[in-house]
Every structure is written in structure tokens, then in C-alpha cells.
Amino acid sequence: MAKRNINWDEDKLKKWIQEGRGQGEGKDYKPWLTVQDFPSKGRVSRVFGWKTKRIHHFFTDTETRYFYLLEWEDDVLDIREHYPLFNCEEVIQNKAGLNFDLFKDKDTGTPYILSTSFLITLKKTDGKIAYVARSLKADCELERKTALERLEIERRYWQSQNIDWAIVTQKEIPVVKAKNIEWIHSSLFPADERGFT
């Protein structure tokens, strides 16, 4: 099996943008990160979405379980995982105390494109559309300085966009409910729509 190329430079950034990563909505959305991009430290998942009619990519069980909870909610219209924060330094108005250099490739100096776990499109009770952003993190990660720096950049990015943002840890996810939804999830569509012959 070929080794994954995890180097980051301007050419790779341009290539990913040309591929349409981080762009589109619904079935046309392509996540910024996919399970093929990095070696995994745990279990990854690819799940066909009820709402989006496309394959979603998740790096942790917590992300996958949160996705199932979103799928079950009637007011959720679209789920975009690994949503990129393009032009972070330009979008964030209050840069005080932020160290963007932590998130640049050490060899090339190219800034990494940070991403938020989920950008969710909701239908409000008045019929209007709203967006919320959620970052999923293991609670132990919230003790790491670099993780906190990254989360603060995310918080200020979404604040500048006037979009509600919050952190979700595994402690906030009802595991039994998520597993129950997972259990019935693949039964919604006929076998040919799930990709089986």
C-alpha cells in the first residue's frame, strides 16, 4: 500500500481547492478532509447520509455518533463535516493573543487550513435557515495548549461570521441513542441505494 503524502505546501492547497474540497452543499459538498488523507490513530467511518445522499467521512467514533444524532433531528437540513476555515487571518477581526504560526507547515511555511468538525444547516420554527458550527473534541484534548489555541481561532472565526459555535465532547453524546440510530440507519434505503448489488 502506498504511503500517504502528508506534506503541506501551496501546490497541495491549490490542488485541494481545485478538487472542490470544502465547497458545495448537500450532496455536492466535499469535505476538506477525508479518511484517505491521514493515517488514523483510531477507527474511521464512511457513512452514507440520509439527508445529504452522499458519503460522510469521520475520524472518530464521537464524530460518527454525533452525526447519527444530527441525522435523526427533523430540523437539520444539511450536515457538512470537516468544514474549512478559509482565510482565517483575514476573517478574524480580533487577532489579539492568537498565534497563527503554530498552524503552519514547519518546512514550507504554508498555513494549514483549519476545519470545524461540523457546519450544520437548520430550519428554524419560523421557516428561516440558520447555521451552527460544532467542534468535537475528546475532553482530555481540552487540557492541551495547542488544542486550546486552535479552538480559540475557531471560536473567533465563527464569531466574525455571526454563526453560533460550541465545543462538544464525548460526555455530551448519548451513546445508546446514537448506537440505536446507527443500528436502523442503513435500513432506510433499499440495498441498491446503499451501493450493494
Name the least confident of 2-6, 47-51, 126-130: 2-6
The DSSP string of 72-101 is H-TTEEEEEEEEE-TTHHHH-S--TT--GG
pLDDT single digits (tens) 83-110: 999 999 999 989 899 999 999 999 999 9
pLDDT of residue 2: 46
Task: Give me the amino acid identity at 106.
Answer: K
pLDDT of residue 185: 80
Is the pLDDT at 165 greater than 60, yes or no? Answer: yes
pLDDT of residue 190: 52
Task: Give me the amino acid identity at 14.
Answer: K
pLDDT of residue 119: 98
pLDDT of residue 85: 97
The average pLDDT across 38-51 equals: 84
pLDDT of residue 1: 40
The three three-digit cell numbers of residue 158, written as one number? 465563527
Kindly state the percentage of the chain with pLDDT values over 70. Answer: 91
Mean pLDDT of the residues in the chain: 90
Residue 142, SS3 per DSSP:
helix
CA torsion, ordered 177, 179, 183, 184, to nearest 10 deg: 30
Quote the CA–CA distance of 109 and 47 in Å, as a whole number: 34
The average pLDDT across 104-130 equals: 94
Is beta strand 129-136 parallel, antiparallel or unpaired with respect to 164-168? parallel
DSSP state of 40: -
182 versus 70: which is more confidently predicted? 70
The average pLDDT across 125-139 equals: 95
* Distances 1 to 4, 35, 37, 39 between C-alpha atoms, Å: 9, 15, 14, 12
Residue 155, SS3 per DSSP:
helix
The three three-digit cell numbers of residue 135, written as one number? 467542534
Q: Long-range contacts: 147-152, Cβ < 8 Å, 24+?
A: 149/98, 149/99, 149/102, 150/102, 150/103, 150/114, 152/97, 152/98
Quote the CA–CA distance of 155 and 149 in Å, as a whole number: 10
pLDDT of residue 28: 97
| Alpha helices in 87-164, H assignment, sequence order | 88-91, 145-160
Is the pLDDT at 193 greater than 70, yes or no? Answer: no
Is the pLDDT at 197 greater than 70, yes or no? Answer: no
Is the pLDDT at 70 greater than 60, yes or no? Answer: yes
Name the least confident of 43-47, 74-78, 149-153, 193-197: 193-197
The average pLDDT across 65-94 equals: 95
